[in-house]
Amino acid sequence: MSEIRATEIMVAAGAHELKDGETVVVGIGLPQIACFLAKATHAPGLTPLLEIGVANMRPKDTPVGLADSRIFYRATCWSGFLDVMGMNLHRGIVDTGFLGALEVDRYGNINTTLSREGGRLRYFNGSAGGNDVASLAKRVIVIMRHEKRKLPVAVSHLTSPGFVGGRPRAELGLRGGGPHRIITDKAVMGFDKENHSAALMSLHPGVSLEDVLANTGFPLQVPDAIATTALPTAEELRLLRDEIDPKSVYLGGVG
């Protein structure tokens, strides 16, 4: 088996967080790849939802966006945005929201709207359904590149709420459980139950604690004993490389 890529470790870690029988609103890219890896292995009863209203799809080839018809293949439902947001998220039946991010801060607040670098303001696509997902899903998993600028003390723009200001979700008036995991190309982070700040859970093989701390823009809680992130199995790698993303559309880089 050839060298394991960081993206493969990331999606395997994300897949392992998903449970059989769950309903998941999933974003395009690595979240999508992780979701279909889970469904092909330990979670055959997983129900993925796309915010545009597609449910329980089995993508053909590797779709490159929500409007790519290959992502609709064998879906059991194709309704609309309001159905996923209203009949699923707002009704409280979505177990997990699996998202990408431009920035995530120490309290799991997500920015997908704009960046401020060197005095330059750059706008991106905005939240789409991200705010609904972050506000209402029972838990939220974020997958992203591990860079200091992408993990600031406070996000440049609050697109989707986590534990805003370190406050409990109920105090914020948010029904969803909030941030659960941040999975990067260096580590897996969770959130402290008392102060709601990001805490290191595991380091990927070959990654040092010093590297992670140097590339994290906020104070990261570190346990006395640090676990090592499990590598994808040979079968998981086969599925990723031969069936789920054989052209490395998403596994070829870190979004």
Contact 163, 196 (CB under 8 A): yes
Q: Which two tokens stand for residue 64?
A: 């490159």
Question: Helix, strand, coil shares of the chain as percentages rounded to 5?
Answer: 25, 20, 50
Residue 254: per-residue pLDDT: 62
83 pLDDT above the threshold of 60: yes
Residue 164 gets which letter from DSSP? G
Q: Which residue has the tokens 């992408």?
A: 150
Verify whether residue 103 is a known catalytic residue: no
pLDDT tens digit string along 154-186? 999 999 999 999 999 999 999 999 999 999 999
CA distance 123 to 61: 31
Q: Which residue has the tokens 């597609």?
A: 54
Contact 127, 113 (CB under 8 A): yes
CA distance 21 to 33: 18
Residue 57: per-residue pLDDT: 87
Residue 120: per-residue pLDDT: 86
Residue 250's pLDDT band, with cuts at 50, 70 and 90, is very high
Contact 30, 7 (CB under 8 A): yes
Residue 48: per-residue pLDDT: 94
Q: Catalytic one among 22, 51, 103, 236?
A: 51
Residues in Cβ contact with 87 at an 8 Å cutoff, skipping those fewer than 6 apart: none
Dihedrals φ, ψ of 189, to 5°? Answer: -120, 150
Q: Stretch 26-35: mean pLDDT, rounded?
A: 92
Q: Pick the closest to residue 116 from 134, 129, 103 (CA basis).
A: 103
CA distance 210 to 181: 20
Q: Stretch 50-72: mean pLDDT, rounded?
A: 83
145 pLDDT above the threshold of 90: yes
Q: Stretch 71-98: mean pLDDT, rounded?
A: 88
Q: Which residue has the tokens 């394991």?
A: 4
Residue 2: per-residue pLDDT: 65
CA distance 85 to 155: 25
CA distance 77 to 56: 7
CA distance 212 to 231: 18
Neighbours of 247 (CB within 10 A): 11
